[in-house]
Amino acid sequence: LAKTTQPISMDSYEGQEVNITCSHNNIATNDYITWYQQFPSQGPRFIIQGYKTKVTNEVASLFIPADRKSSTLSLPRVSLSDTAVYYCLVGHSSNTGKLIFGQGTTLQVKP
Amino acid sequence: EPEVTQTPSHQVTQMGQEVILRCVPISNHLYFYWYRQILGQKVEFLVSFYNNEISEKSEIFDDQFSVERPDGSNFTLKIRSTKLEDSAMYFCASMGGVNSPLHFGNGTRLTVT
């Protein structure tokens, strides 16, 4: 099962672009990379998922290099409401049974 | 948009009592999970369930814990004899298929006194 490593915390200011990188050196060939956002006292919420290159949706972009050993979640022009914990999760295809979250990155957006 | 629902939102119980946490996953989903989160800590995997049986479980999920899908809609987590350290948020999640994202409920806050 691919282990993930992310920075524990990051600070940003409103209106800035935020990039959070996750390392997953032993990702399996068929594994997808999924990012979740969690607010206090709520369950994690799906943000974006990708396999390779770049994926974009209405809230974020996900950049995955060719070797797929890392991924970067990009949040454009963050606001105070983007203050949350962000988790990357790898390993859906190799083991749907044991999907384990890492420590996550606590993003603090300041005014 | 369909969602995972959990009841109750808050449960207070005394040490040694049994509790049952209930979840209604998204209706066409196939994979079901329970996670817990102690205040200020990360989300911890407890157990996964597929095809009417447990797929994987963590070291936390000892014989005090059990899961059941008693009918086509509910997915329950039972703790037989609660301990103070079981106090946490418990999240249920479901997944439609391989490589699909997890969909989480809003959790049950369990307080053991």
On whether any CB of chain A is under 8 Å from the CB of B31, the answer is yes
Q: Which of A1, A87, A98 to mutate to test the interface with B (most CBs of B within 10 A)?
A: A98
**Cross-strand partners of A5:** A23
Please check the confidence at residue A95 and state whether its pLDDT lies above 80. Answer: no
Backbone angles phi, psi at A80, to 5 degrees: -55, -30
Q: B102 vs chain A: nearest CA distance in angstroms? A: 7
User: How far away is chain B from the Cα of A65, in angstroms, using its nearest Cα?
Assistant: 19
pLDDT given for residue B75 in this prediction: 96
* Cα first-last separation, chain B: 37
Residue B57 pLDDT greater than 70, yes or no: yes
pLDDT band (50, 70, 90) for residue A93: low
Q: Nearest Cβ partner of B42 from A34, A98, A104?
A: A104
Partners of B31 on chain A (C-beta within 8 Å) are 96
Confidence of residue B99 (pLDDT cuts 50, 70, 90): confident
Share of chain B above pLDDT 90, in %: 86
Enumerate the residues of chain B whose CB falls inside 8 A of the CB of residue A87: 43
Residue contact A102–B42, C-beta within 8 A: yes
pLDDT digits 0-9 by tens, A60-85: 999 999 999 999 999 999 999 999 99
> DSSP of chain A, one letter per residue?
----B--SEEEEETT--EEEEEE-TT--TT--EEEEEE-TTS--EEEEEESSEEEE-SS-EEEE-TT-SEEEEEESS--GGG-EEEEEEE-TTT-SS-------EEEEEE-
- The residues pairing with A9 across neighbouring beta strands, listed in sequence order, are A106
pLDDT surpassing 70 at residue A94: no
Q: Does the pLDDT at position A59 exceed 80?
A: yes
Contacts of A32 in chain B (CB under 8 A): 99
pLDDT of residue B32: 95
Which of A9, A48, A92 to mutate to probe the B interface, most B CBs <10 Å? A92
**Residue A98's pLDDT band (boundaries 50, 70, 90)?**
confident
pLDDT of residue B109: 97
The verdict on B32 touching A (C-beta cutoff 8 Å) is no
How far B97 CA lies from chain A's nearest CA (Å)? Answer: 9
Chain-chain contact of B31 with A101 (C-beta, under 8 angstroms): no
Mean per-residue pLDDT over chain B, rounded: 94
pLDDT, tens only, B45-54: 999 999 889 9
